[in-house]
Structure formats: structure tokens, C-alpha cells
Structure 1
């Protein structure tokens, strides 16, 4: 079974790609979309 951090990053990548597929966005806008309605915030370094 994958470690929790690896699983989180895989889900983060998938979600980021899904957001980009909806409409073209720049990095900061993608980060804002990722953090909308989330308790665990994604930082610039993670993205």
C-alpha cells in the first residue's frame, strides 16, 4: 500500500490536472482552486 504522502501527492496531481482541463489557468489560480473548500491547504512549494 502506498504511503500517505505519496497518495496525497497523486491525488493532488490528479485534481490539478482536472482543474486545468476545465479551463486554462496559471499557477496561482490553480493553487486557489485546489485550496477552495479544503482543510489541508496546498502550498506553493508542493504544487
Structure 2
């Protein structure tokens, strides 16, 4: 009976779920941004090497 009570609060709190979703989205967008930066740097190096 007590264990059932313990496992309930996390599920019945939608605001916390929304928070984690936003945090996850923020992390994801940051990762994508850094990936694009790396790709841009790599493409820049390739272009410089090929053009010279």
C-alpha cells in the first residue's frame, strides 16, 4: 500500500514532464547547432584546400 503511494506523485505531475521536454529540446537544438558549426568548419577547410 505504501509503495503504491510512493510511485504515484511523479506520474500525476504534468508540469514536470513539460519541463523535462523543454530541457530535452533545448539540449537537442544545442547539439544540432554545434554539429552545423563543425560541418561549416569542415566544409570551409575543404573549400580552401580545393580552391588553392
Q: Smaller-chain TM-score range? A: 0.3 to 0.5
Q: TM-score, structure 1 length as denominator?
A: 0.44
User: Higher RCO, 1 or 2 (CA under 8 Å, sep at least 6)?
Assistant: 1
Larger Rg, first or second structure (1 or 2): 2
